[in-house]
Amino acid sequence: MSTTVANSLFGQLTSTFQELEATNEPSFLRTLRQEAFARFQKEGFPTVKNEEWKYTNIHPLVSKTYLLNEDVDVADIDLSKADIPELDAHRIVLVNGQYVLAFSSLEDEVGLKVKPIEEAAEEVNFQKHFAQYADKSDNPLVALNTALYTSGLYLEVAKGKVLSKPLHIIHVATGKQEFFAQTRNLYVIEPNAEVEIVESFVTVEGAAHNLHNKVTEIVVEENAKIQHYYLQTAAKESNYFTHTEVYQTRYSLYNNYNCSFPGASFVRNNINVRLDAENVESHLYGINLLADKQLVDNHTIVDHLKPNCESYEWYKNIPQEESTAVFNGKIFVRQDAQKTNAFQQNNNMLMGDKATVYTKPQLEIFADDVKCSHGCTMGQFEDDSLFYLRARGIGEESARILLVHAFAFDVTSRFSNEAVRNYVEGLVAKGLERK
């Protein structure tokens, strides 16, 4: 069950949609926007009465007005907050969702196509794939995004291309007045291509309260491979709805590494992976170290549609102080998906009397020749272990970091990029520093 937002914001959204309808877009895009906005008008923003949002109250975020489609000032933006030591990567910068070529550095990588989403309508892969996957989900925020997006990234890796180095996509939030941004991305990895994508989320110092609704569709074609990192390091002024929809065909590999750290007040990540051919493999890993009154909600779906596929999912949550971590992971094994191998695990370490975790691992199997398992553990920080280390001359802060690193190791050890792994381990240590 859902409800519409306060009339003032709903009126803003309606006016913005009408303005977009009047633009000179291809007819297929105009039709997609109309259908999507009709769905959003019917569903509205989700409330806690909706089972998928029962622990995540977004009313405080959507009960106010915002600037919509604000022109951004990119002068003097400091991107150093997104720096990852020892990471040699091409850089792509989006400021409030708008692709800024002046900050980006692609160095003429042959076989890589990158352009603003609003300039991609003539691309064959755009016409083939845009809004064909995420919009089939039941997330009303996807419909809102499809109806109102004005910025984002189109990325295409050509058939057989193995990029020479990773792509570092930096999402920057900035603005002197409160704003609500709709960003739409489409990544198409053609057959036999390989790419590593690292996405960092940062906030410019002094930015006003901001809300982002980001939708990313990822198509991983036959025998293509993608390593994909989300590094959420934005400041408390930033709030995110992020929906990632992954569509895989045979012999493809998709690995997602999803990390959140102290900062952004509210984060809702939906990551859906559809294994729609035989011999597909997907891995989803998550580390969430939270502080203050943060809320980070990770909802994942791994949908096995065809036989002989494998998925592996492991999320670890470490909420501190008064923060809240939510994990809802669903694995579906459809009737035709025989010989499926699926694993899911969620482990939680609470580091504070007021820290909260809500977890719901789910496994629905409609086939009979499968190997599937899921599990969940919940516990508090072990004072006995801390005492043991301190009794051997290790300071309290160092001992806490050691114990949390040991807890997180099962996930961080699976990071394929050493520079990113070292960076994440450093963020874990920083996030545990006592005030």
Per-residue pLDDT reduced to its tens digit, 205-218? 999 999 999 999 99
Distance CA 345, CA 178 (A): 38
Per-residue pLDDT reduced to its tens digit, 286-324? 999 999 999 999 999 999 999 999 999 999 999 999 999
**Among 24-28, 200-204, 221-225, the least confident range:** 24-28
3-state helix/strand/coil string of 172-229: EECCCCCEEEEEEEEEEECCCCEEEEEEEEEECCCCCCEEEEEEEEEEECCCCEEEEE
- Both tokens assigned to 21: 């309808």
The mean of the pLDDT values for the chain is: 93
Pairing mode of beta strands 266-275, 295-304: parallel
Distance CA 278, CA 309 (A): 6
Strand partners, 349: 379
| Greatest Cα pair distance in the chain | 71
pLDDT value for 1: 31
Whether 435 has a pLDDT exceeding 50, the answer reads: no
Mean pLDDT computed over 379-397: 71
- Both tokens assigned to 276: 């729609």
How does residue 4 score in pLDDT terms, banded at 50, 70 and 90?
very low
Per-residue pLDDT reduced to its tens digit, 107-166? 788 999 999 999 999 999 999 999 999 999 999 999 999 999 999 999 999 999 999 999
Tell how far CA 366 is from the center of its chain. 28
Q: How far is CA 212 from CA 93, 191, 272, 283, in A?
A: 16, 32, 19, 26
pLDDT value for 23: 86
Mean pLDDT computed over 418-433: 94
Distance CA 328, CA 343 (A): 14
Distance CA 242, CA 225 (A): 22
With b meaning 16 or more CB within 10 Å and e meaning fewer, what string describes 49-82?
Answer: ebeebebbebeebbeeebbbbbebeeeebeeebb
Percent over 90 (pLDDT), the chain: 81
pLDDT value for 2: 38
Whether 424 has a pLDDT exceeding 90, the answer reads: yes
Mean pLDDT computed over 393-410: 80
Mean pLDDT computed over 40-61: 94
- Rounded to 5°, the CA angle 348-354-355 comes to 25
Closest CA to 271 of 262, 263, 283: 283
pLDDT value for 390: 66
Pairing mode of beta strands 324-333, 238-248: unpaired
